[in-house]
A and B are shown apart, each in its own frame.
Chain A
Amino acid sequence: MIDVVMVAGTTLLVIGMMATIVNRDPFDKLISLSVLIAGVFPFIIDRGYLDVATATALIAPLSTIFTLMVCRRERA
């Protein structure tokens, strides 16, 4: 794998993980979690698992949307 892309994916994974742990607001947690998921994809693609990458790209936003149903505000 190209070294620059590997370093970039690892950096996105680590900063997404740290921000997901540190943040207190649930929306900030979800945004940091999507940064983490973005860092996973170059590693999945590099091994050639393109069907796994497609399925993950379609399932991960669904899990985020189901989590958003929990943390929405009360009647605005």
Chain B
Amino acid sequence: MIAIFVCAIIAVYAGLRVVFEKNTMRKLPFLNVVSFAITGTIALLLPHPLTILAAAAYFVGSTLESNAIASTWAGGIRRDD
């Protein structure tokens, strides 16, 4: 019971840090923290075998999303030709 409370509070704290951070590149680690905390909340919320599948799908999807945003923001490798 205490674990899901900790996950929810970490999610809210990291969400506030994402919103109030000015630098775009510094928003992305906190977005990853939000993803991890929400994954923990999903896995602990409902005792059902498919819950871990939903949690794994959300973990993969949100990590892919934040990495795609980061690599597009960085602009890729620089070609000098």
Q: Name the residue among A28, A35, A68 with the largest chain B CB count within 10 angstroms.
A: A35
Query: What is the interface of chain A, defined by CB distance below 8 A to chain B?
Result: 2, 4-5, 7-9, 11-12, 15-16, 18-19, 25, 27-28, 30-32, 34-35, 38-39, 41-42, 45-46, 48, 50-51, 53-54, 57-58, 60-61, 64-65, 68, 71-73, 76
| Tally of contacts, chain A with chain B, CB under 8 A | 134
Q: In the complex, what residues of B have CB within 8 A of residue A68's CB?
A: 68-69, 72
Q: Given contacts A45-B45, A65-B65, A76-B75, are A50 and B53 in contact (CB under 8 A)? A: yes
Query: What is the interface of chain B, defined by CB distance below 8 A to chain A?
Result: 4-5, 8-9, 11-12, 15-16, 18-19, 24, 27-28, 31, 34-35, 38, 41-42, 45-46, 48, 50-51, 53-54, 57-58, 60-62, 64-66, 68-69, 72-73, 75-76, 78
